[in-house]
Amino acid sequence: MVFYLVIGAGVIGLTTALELRAQYPGAEIVIAGKYLPGDAAPDYASNWGGANWFPASMDNGRQEKWDAITYNKFKKLASDRPESGVHAMKIRFHYERPIEELVGGLTPVEEGDLPPGAVVGYEMASFILDVQRYLPWLQMEAYSLGIEIHRRGFNDIRDTFESYPEASAVFNCTGLGSLKLGGVEDDKMFAARGQIMLVEGPKEPIPAMYFQAPHRDADATHIFPRGKNGGIILGGCRQKNNWDGEIDLNFAEVIKKKCCTIAPQLAKPEGLKILKHGVGLRPRREGGARIESEYFDQKLVIHNYGAGGTGFQASWGMAKEAVSFIRETARL
């Protein structure tokens, strides 16, 4: 029997395993991860995702393709599998200076409806993901499809061949771990620190997501409702090369003030009921995500990591491309 090993159990690793099962229904598949859904380590970034689908790609190529594939997958999940935690929801995004390029399908926000500091705004149909439901759902989907999940970490990519010698291919989905993973040691990887808080939602649910930034590629304040009764995620920042996993309570106050300005439904900052704070270290990579294959001692390794803050919205597209390398390498 063909056997595939996926190392890393964040959103990229879990999704890659499910894509493997879809394309290779008879294969044996194991996910081995240092962290699993529910873990709260800062470098397990998936646990701290907002998370949503947002039109952030600007490469006119692979990234946009990954996002498009994932958009269609989320559309199907929101319709057919609401228990997944994926739901359709509009997103309203504002910028503090004009921007030149945006995708179509947008509704301009009237000037009178813009929050203080914003000069332009748009609204579009999108998807919100309740991470506390979505990650466990991916995990349980894997179990239900016969995919084993092992709690295990590796110091070197070659250690996987000793632990799982029967593996036909190893998928490296270790995110930030690829910076120090022996044999990989990708020095293009760096942390992009994010900080969020979960607050209790107002009596009248907020009907949309909000996002506001100085310009398109910048730190953004965001407001992501987690369903009708799951609270609201407030954030955030994107601090390059900041590896601090501790909560900055002074910055938390800044987040609260900004979010209450953008969405007055939240009321006053001092009235927010904070349920928890969180810090996540996004696995960003200079030059973008790495999806490619290589051999170690004639063992096939397929890398799929470095999505940064777009891991959720690109996950299904990235998984599909990574899995395609099995057939491509077989033709060589």
List 124's β-bridge partners, or say none.
91
> Residue 289 maps to which CATH number?
3.40.50.720
Query: What distance in Å separates the CA atoms of residue 161 and residue 181, rounded to the nearest whole number?
Result: 14
Each residue's pLDDT expressed in tens, for the chain with a length of 332 residues: 899 999 999 999 999 999 999 999 999 999 999 999 999 999 999 999 989 998 766 665 899 999 999 999 999 999 999 999 999 999 988 887 776 655 556 788 888 888 888 888 888 899 999 999 999 999 999 999 999 999 999 999 999 999 999 999 999 999 999 999 999 999 999 999 999 999 999 888 898 999 888 765 557 899 999 877 889 999 989 899 999 999 999 999 999 999 999 998 898 999 999 999 999 999 999 999 999 999 998 999 999 999 999 999 999 999 999 999 998 776 54
Per the listing, tokens 């959103």 go with 11
Q: Give residue 100's pLDDT.
A: 60
CA 220 to CA 218: how far, in whole Å?
Answer: 6
> Which residue type, as a one-letter code, is found at position 216?
R
Q: How far does the chain reach from its first CA to its final CA, in angstroms?
A: 22
Helix ranges restricted to H, the chain: 11-23, 62-80, 131-144, 159-163, 249-262, 311-331
Task: Determine phi and psi for 230, rounding to 5 degrees.
Answer: -100, 10
Asked if residue 82 lies in contact with residue 90, where contact means CB atoms within 8 angstroms, the answer is no
Cβ within 8 Å of residue 112, ≥6 positions away: none
Q: Give me the pLDDT at residue 331, please.
A: 56
Domain that holds residue 180: 3-331
Strands 148-151 and 107-108: unpaired
Question: How many structural domains does the chain have?
Answer: 1
